[in-house]
Structure 1
Amino acid sequence: MSKLLEVQDLKVHFPIHGGLLMRRKAVVKAVDGVSLSIAPGETVGLVGESGCGKSTVAKALVRLVPPNAGRIVFNGKDITRAGTLGMRPIRRDLQMVFQDPVESLNARHSVREILEEPFRIHGGYSAADRRKKIAGLLDRVGLPAASADRYPFEFSGGQRQRIGIARAIALEPKLIICDEPVSALDVSVQSQVLNLLLELQRELGLSYLFIAHDLAVVKHISDRVAVMYLGKIVETAGSETIYQNPKHAYTKALLSAIPHPDPTREVKRVLLEGDVPSPIDPPAGSAFGHRLGHPKYEETIGLEMPLVEIEPGHRVAADPCCLEEADWRKLKLAKPAGS
């Protein structure tokens, strides 16, 4: 299958300065070697706890923050070092929906002005064309035509997110990066927005990178899922495989936290002990093994723990602290594979 987006060993580090001369004291390793790919028409879910680096991955992919290392290839073009001018034509095909529509929509602009901006920036549209396009966008996301003359503060959270989605699809992009687009919404509204995204995907042939910390939401929309912990991807597989047969201890812990609709059903919870390590001073070995105080942690210090294909299409970090003994034996016989 061809790849619309291919990310190889992406790293984004932020320096911390301090002292009288504001010298660099430390580095925050927000993203520390992420590799993933997205095919045309595919939805890949990226999940993990708050602070694991998911949103930084999103911002790096659209070049809102510069990567320190790695490679980003979008639609056959390397955009890793692309500047403002180089990214302008790319942005027609690569858009983003942000977590908080209150922050991402200009409160001083009407909805008409917000939706008109992409057409003005990229040019080639008459005033009549823009009016027609805006009316079509509002209808497509389920908002009345009269919404065009109102301002963001006049809408509910779900409606504001629909405006953000309308702006993202204005130029009919190939890939939309959704950075926790429903986490700030009520549960009933979440399902409406998710169904809208699925409907738009069918109509426009969109691909999504869908970022969330809620695996129940991700399951509803994703074809494949990548699980991220402390700046690294620790497991990736098809959506059903991740939910039915997780291998990594962190993935199992995330899945056990999903509420079950049947209150009488007994669910085995995986209670996480210890604190999340700091990305400023990450452990020298298994990050999750360090958090658990695992007896095999010392064995992992300085050890490379790449993603290895344990089953067809199912890759997991080669980490002895986070795998069942049978899976660890099977993994040692396998070979590392790119994601």
Structure 2
Amino acid sequence: MSELLSVRDLKVHFPVKGGLLMRQTKTVKAVDGVSLDIGVGETLGLVGESGCGKSTLGKAIVRLADSNAGSIVFEGRDITQASRRSIRPLRQDLQMIFQDPVESLNARHSISEILEEPLIVHGRGNRAERKKKVAELLDRVGLPAASAERYPFEFSGGQRQRVGIARAIALEPKLIIADEPVSALDVSVQSQVMNLLLDLQKDMGLSYLFVAHDLAVVKHISDRVAVMYLGKIVELADAEAIYQRPKHAYTKALISAIPHPDPSRKIERVLLEGDVPSPIDPPKGSAFGKRINHPRYAETEGMDLSLVEIEPRHWVAADPCCLEAEDWERVRRV
């Protein structure tokens, strides 16, 4: 599988200003040293609790948020500091599906105008050709052609998200950042939208970064899964390995929260203690160890907690607070 996107040690920090002169007093470390790769035709699931930096990472990749350090390489080209003018042609290959279709669709524009806009911006076809393309897009996402002259408020949440997906694929991109595309939808509609994304990927050869806060949602759509906690990736592996052999304590807690279809089956839930540390003042050591008051937290202060390949294609943070004794010994030997 050839590499499409490569992110290395990416950091996205936001200043917190206060006082009479509104000077910067603190910094929100939303994304704090993330590295990941996405191959052609691959889906990488990105999961974690709300506020861990998933959406910010997605926006940084498509350059809707500026990064402070690190690099973003798309198809061999470093776009980390690319100007707005130079990044514009890349929008054809790099698109985003937003979480809330109500906010992301212009309520004053008809569906036809919404879907035609990217074609106009990038000079695709004449008016007749664009109208034909709009009809094809609607058909591709399972909406009737008559939808073109209607407005977003006339549709259900699932239908609006289909419009958002149609807009994202209008320019036939290579990579789509799907920022929790089903979290605002009813459970009965979620599977329909996810099946649509899978069908489009098969037909168009798309790659996805699929962002979600629920491991159950990404279980069947992802080839690999990255688990994010407080601005950092703490575990990254093939989807099967993540679900069958999780290594990090936080990953185990997320998996234990997945509902099981058999109500008679007893599942040992992992109840997380404490509160999520603030990204404004993150711990000096293991963030998850600090949360659960782990007895070994003190020794992690100043320790290198970077990802280590504990098994082939299975990476986990080298954190004694979050690994079983046997896994910690394996990590130490790497």
TM-score over 0.5 for the pair: yes
Report the Cα distance in structure 2 between the residues aligned to 1:136 and 1:198, rounded to whole angstroms: 18
- Alignment of 1:230 with 2:230, yes or no, is yes
Structure-2 residue corresponding to 1:204: 204
Structure 1 residue ranges without an equivalent (≥5) = 335-339
Report the Cα distance in structure 2 between the residues aligned to 1:13 and 1:65, rounded to whole angstroms: 10
Report the Cα distance in structure 2 between the residues aligned to 1:215 and 1:293, rounded to whole angstroms: 25
What TM-score, normalized by structure 1, do the two folds share?
A: 0.98
Question: Could you tell me which amino acid in structure 1 is paired with residue 174 of structure 2?
Answer: K
Q: Which moved more, 1:212-221 or 1:223-232?
A: 212-221
For 1:32, what is the secondary structure of its paired residue? strand
C-alpha displacement of 1:75:
1.1
Equivalent positions of 1:164-313 (< 5 A) are: 164-313=164-313
C-alpha displacement of 1:167:
0.2
Question: Could you tell me which amino acid in structure 1 is paired with residue 33 of structure 2?
Answer: G
Question: Can you list the C-alpha shifts for 1:225-268, whole angstroms capped at 9, x where unaligned?
Answer: 00000000000000011000000000000000111111110000
Report the Cα distance in structure 2 between the residues aligned to 1:262 and 1:28, rounded to whole angstroms: 42
Report the Cα distance in structure 2 between the residues aligned to 1:142 and 1:54, rounded to whole angstroms: 29
Structure-1 residue corresponding to 2:151: 151
C-alpha displacement of 1:128:
1.2
Question: Can you list the C-alpha shifts for 1:23-48, whole angstroms capped at 9, x where unaligned?
Answer: 11100000000000000000000000
Structure-2 residue corresponding to 1:54: 54
Question: Could you tell me which amino acid in structure 1 is paired with residue 326 of structure 2?
Answer: A
For 2:219, what is the secondary structure of its paired residue? helix
Structure-1 residue corresponding to 2:333: 333
Report the Cα distance in structure 1 between the residues aligned to 2:145 and 2:124, rounded to whole angstroms: 23
- Alignment of 1:116 with 2:123, yes or no, is no
Structure 2 residue ranges without an equivalent (≥5) = none
Report the Cα distance in structure 2 between the residues aligned to 1:257 and 1:307, rounded to whole angstroms: 24
- Alignment of 1:131 with 2:131, yes or no, is yes
Question: Could you tell me which amino acid in structure 2 is paired with residue 69 of structure 1?
Answer: A
Report the Cα distance in structure 2 between the residues aligned to 1:262 and 1:30, rounded to whole angstroms: 38
Report the Cα distance in structure 1 between the residues aligned to 2:60 and 2:154, rounded to whole angstroms: 32
Structure-2 residue corresponding to 1:26: 26
For 2:26, what is the secondary structure of its paired residue? strand
Question: Could you tell me which amino acid in structure 1 is paired with residue 117 of structure 2?
Answer: E
Structure-2 residue corresponding to 1:77: 77
What TM-score, normalized by structure 2, do the two folds share?
A: 0.99
Report the Cα distance in structure 1 between the residues aligned to 2:59 and 2:211, rounded to whole angstroms: 12
C-alpha displacement of 1:2:
2.0
For 1:189, what is the secondary structure of its paired residue? helix
C-alpha displacement of 1:124:
3.6
Report the Cα distance in structure 1 between the residues aligned to 2:146 and 2:184, rounded to whole angstroms: 25
Structure-2 residue corresponding to 1:44: 44
C-alpha displacement of 1:76:
1.2
Report the Cα distance in structure 2 between the residues aligned to 1:203 and 1:22, rounded to whole angstroms: 51
For 2:17, what is the secondary structure of its paired residue? strand
Identity %: 75
For 1:227, what is the secondary structure of its paired residue? strand
Runs of 4+ residues deviating >6 angstroms: none
Report the Cα distance in structure 1 between the residues aligned to 2:332 and 2:302, rounded to whole angstroms: 17
Report the Cα distance in structure 2 between the residues aligned to 1:141 and 1:221, rounded to whole angstroms: 18
C-alpha displacement of 1:84:
1.0
For 2:237, what is the secondary structure of its paired residue? strand
Report the Cα distance in structure 2 between the residues aligned to 1:111 and 1:283, rounded to whole angstroms: 47
Report the Cα distance in structure 1 between the residues aligned to 2:194 and 2:124, rounded to whole angstroms: 32
Question: Could you tell me which amino acid in structure 1 is paired with residue 8 of structure 2?
Answer: Q
Question: Can you list the C-alpha shifts for 1:53-108, whole angstroms capped at 9, x where unaligned?
Answer: 00000110011110000000011111000121011110000000000000000000
Structure-2 residue corresponding to 1:337: none
Question: Could you tell me which amino acid in structure 2 is paired with residue 156 of structure 1?
Answer: S
Supply the RMSD in Å over aligned alpha carbons: 0.5
Report the Cα distance in structure 2 between the residues aligned to 1:106 and 1:282, rounded to whole angstroms: 37
Report the Cα distance in structure 2 between the residues aligned to 1:83 and 1:170, rounded to whole angstroms: 23
- The answer to whether the 8 Å contact 2:175/2:208 transfers is yes
